[in-house]
Chains A and B, each alone.
Chain A
């Protein structure tokens, strides 16, 4: 697959991307390198794995990382109940060596995402989500898998990958990822999209939305993200949620009143909601210079500054 074909496939998957992203994905794919994606929460890191699965027409195997994740939950586990039952059933059997051997065969092996992804007949896309939430031991264990594409199971031996999966790792930078793991990956950093790209995403994902409303939503979200005072920046998913909500409410225009009542879709903590009024409304009412006759006088969040004593 060349770069143009990849772009074409991503177009077909209805995904909005820029040339940089396409090139990075192409490089990782050609070099068979895992792709480590970092960026703020909600910029669309996980989405990339899904799109790649769709574009390459592969199955997506997803593994969500968390503290305490270990080999038995990520790689394989023996089916103990079945093994015990088998022992009970075959108690009378003479050939005990044969019984022992059979207990550690494929029949009793429970495949977890990592093993599944390398033993799959067809290559898959393996998404290791939020690797920064896992422990350092798990990261070290991943090294063997990612660099050699093989894993060791003591009872069976080394299992080599039947097919090489396209691996995507994502991180929110909650803890630094070790250099050893970084070195084995291609790296991509995603920033929040600019207004133009975000509008394109909004149009693609919420096609039924009113054009004027879409522009207003994007400009409001961009303003919020640009403000230093907002601590938790709104993500793309939140923009989409907000747009859906406004559409469902039948809103045609984003007035300060509507914004106040629905802002919970984009801002998720109290301080941010309070500062929002200052960020957005201060500019919305620049035209209103007459406090006496202003239609918004008395509304919460709408202030007139009195100069002088």
Chain B
């Protein structure tokens, strides 16, 4: 028994470490619990073991999904181990064959060019159409590659680099899609711009739900911060009169809660409109978060939106179309410049500027310069970006902008909720 316990404990400790890497809070207590329960239930029935461990380790629906994934890859059934092994060998063979094939195709015409394994692999995974395109490019520029192999190969290499990057991005997308299996919370973890029309009412319901929670938390926070201020002598003495001059109850100065003024600059170009709608809806629902807010919409032009048009999505869409700013390219720089130059000034130290955009703008240097100017004028500058943080490194304009202000990624409702909570509590 003692030996069994030891073996279980070691396995479970390792399992716990992997769970921790996945973001679950696993304490030694839980590992001990898991061990106890496994000793009682045994390991014979995989489903029972999985349920028992899940009960011990996962403490929310989200954690359950993460747990399932870790469990399935950690505790493989015997058949699964064999199947994985076989599949792995098969894949290795196929990969080697594909590499040889790619090498034949690539080297055949111009042996002077050198390709590394990653590039060969990228080539082998290209679609037939892409391969055709690559071959065309080669033919077009073939001239005499032997004369300037460096120049020629750097161009080909850049095409490969793009293909590898696209593969990487699509793999990341696939990994994010795992959350979609649960219809109850799937919507919370999906890309907002990918929502279908019939899902929008439900998404709006979630937003109202989250906004209600944040509002509730804000009210509670205010209710509890009344006692910490300095003693208010005048009110204490007056209150003391009620109790015959004894200071039975002390009165404190209340800290006056100063709410922020919010200035929202919102990108409504083609790719952004759905996301912007959701964010604006969120901000409108947070009636407690700011004292007043002004919303400006931009794509190439900039226009101010009034509260009436923001109250429902249809009105908003119609308004955006009529205002004439919709559907063109994005020019953040000139929109920000207009905002910075407005008289009377919109931005002041008491205001918080919130930029909602994917940072895919023309004239990046101007945009950078204006963000810096806005930062000097406004109290704080925040940027809500619908592009997942993992992809920022592939897009130059985003990584540059992220250094200039606080950029928060919120591609999903869940992330958007977190971001708004963060903003509301500042």
Contacts and interface: CB of A to CB of B under 8 A. Distances in A.
A36 B64 CA distance: 13
Interface string B21-45: 0000101000001001100110000
A36 B112 CA distance: 67
Nearest to B217: A175
Contact of B59 (A3, A20, A182): A182
A179 interface: yes
Chain B: interface size category: 20 to 34
Interface string B48-88: 10011001101111011000000000000000000000000
B1 interface: no
Interface string B184-212: 10000000000000110110010000000
A266 interface: no
A189 B68 CA distance: 13
A136 B64 CA distance: 24
A228 interface: yes
Chain A, interface SS category? mixed
A107 to B, nearest CB: 31
B60 A27 contact: no
Contact of B213 (A33, A176, A228): A176
Contact of A23 (B51, B60, B217): B51
Interface string A202-228: 000000000000000000000000001
Given A183-B27, A191-B184, A24 B59 contact: no
Given A19-B47, A183-B25, A188 B37 contact: no
Given A185-B59, A187-B58, A24 B51 contact: yes
Interface in A169-193: 174-176, 179, 182-183, 185-189, 191
B212 to A, nearest CB: 8
A69 interface: no
B37 A31 contact: yes
B64 A189 contact: yes
A19 B41 CA distance: 13
Interface residues of A, number: 31
Interface string A109-129: 000000000000000000000
B221 to A, nearest CB: 10
A110 B53 CA distance: 40
B64 A187 contact: yes
Contacts of A182: 59-60
A183 B59 contact: yes
Contacts of B33: 31, 33
Given A228-B199, A231-B201, A23 B61 contact: no
Contacts of A231: 201-202, 205
Interface string B207-251: 000000100110010000000000000000000000000000000
Given A23-B55, A175-B213, A228-B199, A189 B61 contact: yes
Contacts of B58: 187
